Copies of this chain bind each other. A is one copy, B any other.
């Protein structure tokens, strides 16, 4: 991840890109992402792994492809992610008897326990974001980001 910092760099101010929405968006995302990485690091979880485990917990029995679709991770890249989590005993993948092409993913007891602790840390992450935003209109921010997220997708 990029470690974008403005430093009040005159070079970037003069160039005019420092005030652009795309640049600010990238900066903000990078800062939040770094905080999330640091938040999950004590549990040896990266953001994608934590998100995958949350999806499995909320949708037990789901296929790994469903996780990939939800997170925008391509099928080949899901294999390693699920392999690692299974190797660590955080989730199980059992053949779906009804359709033996797919696996049904579920959290193990260890996975559930780890996620309970990771969730508390993640709550702290969200609290930091809220504190950072102060009295900003988070509802409006939410709406604006949802709008931008639909930019190219036609969705």
Chain B residue numbers with a CB within 8 Å of A142 are 19, 21, 24
Copies, count: 2
Chain B residue numbers with a CB within 8 Å of A4 are 71-72, 149
Instruction: Determine if A67 is an interface residue (Cβ-Cβ < 8 Å).
Output: yes
Contact present for B128 and A6 (CB under 8 Å): no
Pick the contact of A25: B7, B12, B29, B59 (CB < 8 A).
B29
Interface SS of chain A: helix
Contact present for A71 and B150 (CB under 8 Å): no
* A interface with B by C-beta (< 8 Å): 2-7, 9-12, 14-17, 19-36, 38, 51, 54-55, 57-59, 62, 66-67, 69-73, 125-126, 128-129, 132-134, 136-138, 140-153, 155
